[in-house]
Amino acid sequence: MKKQICYASIILFAIGIAINSCSKSKSSNVTPTNSNFVGTYKFTSETGKPGTGQQFNAFDSLAPCERDDEVRFNADSSYDYLDTGTVCSPTGSYSGTWYLQNSNTLVLDISSVYTIQSFNNKTLVLVFTDAYTSPATVYTLTLTKQ
């Protein structure tokens, strides 16, 4: 009887290890690469913080036709900003180029540099500093892969 309990315990322990090792946490960051970065992302939030001022919700200040926009990163290093859902007049769609300068830097159109704060193959958080405002405003954008 003790052998059966011991074997059952070992089997249950092994099953528990197998289940835990097979399930991946969706919140675990992964290193962005050209292949896993490709896809269509929907904007889900945007905040801004001017200098030492208070953080504000920039997403809510967008026009309704801008809140449902998407960006598609293509394998050929091009991207398409898509004015989807409620379309603005005139449309806000456009295209450009992108590349990963390193594992935590995304460059759009050669000159717009975004820091990749986190990426887990589903949620992408980017940080961008708008130095043309006074004081400079730091924006944090959250995008969800569709």
Residue 68 scores a pLDDT above 70: yes
Residue 56 scores a pLDDT above 90: yes
Q: For domain 35-145, give the CATH number.
A: 2.40.128.20
Q: What was the pLDDT predicted at 27?
A: 60
Break the chain into its structural domains and give their ranges.
35-145
Cα(64)–Cα(92) distance, rounded to whole angstroms? 12
How confident is the model over 127-135, as a mean pLDDT? Answer: 94
How confident is the model over 94-123, as a mean pLDDT? Answer: 96
pTM: predicted TM-score of the whole model, two decimal places: 0.78
Q: What is the mean pLDDT of the chain?
A: 85
Residue 12 scores a pLDDT above 90: no
Q: What was the pLDDT predicted at 145?
A: 97
Residue 109 scores a pLDDT above 90: yes
Let me know: does 103 contact 94? Beta carbons within 8 Å: no
Distance of alpha carbon 129 from the chain centroid? 17
Give the least confident one: 18-22, 92-96, 100-104, 137-141: 18-22
Measured torsion, CA atoms of residues 141, 107, 79, 134, in degrees rounded to the nearest 10: 50
